[in-house]
Amino acid sequence: MDFWPEFLASSWCKEFVAGGFGGMAGVVSGYPLDTLRIRLQQPTNANASAFGLLRNIVSAEGPAALYRGMGAPLVSVSFQNAIVFQIYGAFSRALHSPTKTMEPPPYTGVALAGLGTGVVQSFLLSPVELVKIRLQLRTGGQSHNLPSDREKTPMSLAKGILRRDGVRGMYRGLTVTTLRDGPAHAFYFWTYEYAREQLHPGCRKSGQESVRTMLVAGGLAGVASWVCCYPLDVVKTRLQSQSQTDNPPPKYRGIVDCFYKSVQEEGYRVLWRGLGTAVYRSFLVNGAVFAAFELSLRCLFSNSDSSHGSTQTQENKL
């Protein structure tokens, strides 16, 4: 018995595989802008414009700097995205009344399923983002808050953090990640479902929307999720970019302390620094994510139906 056909026989597994394809599409399409967003959020770039910083990175470090650290999220975010869509599907089915299976889930159920999905996936995402942020903040070949120049790959950096700070060090920023991702995913899935229905009335029930509808609805979902939680993302980036073993001690002692010191030193605008880059990136990335997910899911279900029909034909011949 072959594993792959049996694995794809379940709708849960189809959602997992399609979510993985969506994650890969999102990482590749938006990683340079994500690197730019992370750099803009740092105090050292308080007066830099997105275009000016982009030009400086390319001229000083080369275009490859924009993709530095992409290996870890390409694998992990694809897996994480697969888990996200699978968890969301499970929550949606649990919250949706079984007596109305032909009807799409209500918008309230969509938001609640998204909220639960964000909280659960933050436990997977927090260590990955810690490593990614540390690598993205390398400048000019020098490490940022890293005691060893040998920690230049995601794996070596993760091992170094575990050696110095233990498992707790890998989960630094988990609380703020959960506070960010719960509401963000509620807005994310709600906006996608609402936008696709407005752009193509009846598509939530028929599933017949165009690729353009997927791209636009997915892009709007990404923008909504970032706008609602961006100040928390700025705080998360600053907390995760510092090491507990630094000498002198870390500048920020927690979420509230980071909020207070950041606003006191740089004004309230600091909480929205880099938002423009994040919005452009999220529209591009999440349009690609949802389009890749929906198209992959349809292909998987179509192939499954074809295989089932072929099997039935063979059985009838026998």
Q: How buried is 6 (Cβ within 10 angstroms: 0-12 exposed, 13-18 middle, 19+ buried)?
A: exposed
Greater pLDDT, 302 or 194 = 194
pLDDT-derived band at 7, boundaries 50, 70, 90: very low
pLDDT-derived band at 46, boundaries 50, 70, 90: low
Q: How many CB atoms lie within 10 A of CB 15?
A: 23
Greater pLDDT, 161 or 211 = 211
Q: Which residues have a Cβ under 8 Å from the Cβ of 277 and sit 6 or more positions away?
A: 33, 36, 37, 40, 50
The region of weakest confidence among 12-16, 20-24, 241-245 is 241-245
In whole angstroms, give the CA distance from residue 128 to residue 106: 33
pLDDT at 103: 79
Residue with tokens 């620094």: 273
Consecutive H or E run containing 255 = helix 255-266
pLDDT-derived band at 308, boundaries 50, 70, 90: very low
In whole angstroms, give the CA distance from residue 205 to residue 314: 33
CB 303 within 8 Å of CB 18:
no
Superfamily of domain 10-313: Mitochondrial carrier domain (1.50.40.10)
pLDDT-derived band at 313, boundaries 50, 70, 90: very low
Q: Residue 211 half-sphere exposure, CB side, CA atoms within 13 Å?
A: 5
pLDDT at 294: 92
Encode pLDDT of 124-177 as tens digits: 888 888 888 888 776 544 444 544 556 667 788 888 888 887 888 888 888 999
CB 120 within 8 Å of CB 87:
yes
Encode pLDDT of 54-87 as tens digits: 888 888 888 888 888 788 778 877 888 898 998 9
CB 151 within 8 Å of CB 75:
no
Phi, psi of 313, rounded to the nearest 5 degrees: -65, -40
Rounded percentage of the chain residues whose pLDDT exceeds 90? 31
Q: Which amino acid appears at position 27 of this protein? A: V
Q: Does residue 99 register a pLDDT over 70? A: no
Question: Model pTM?
Answer: 0.76
CB 297 within 8 Å of CB 88:
no
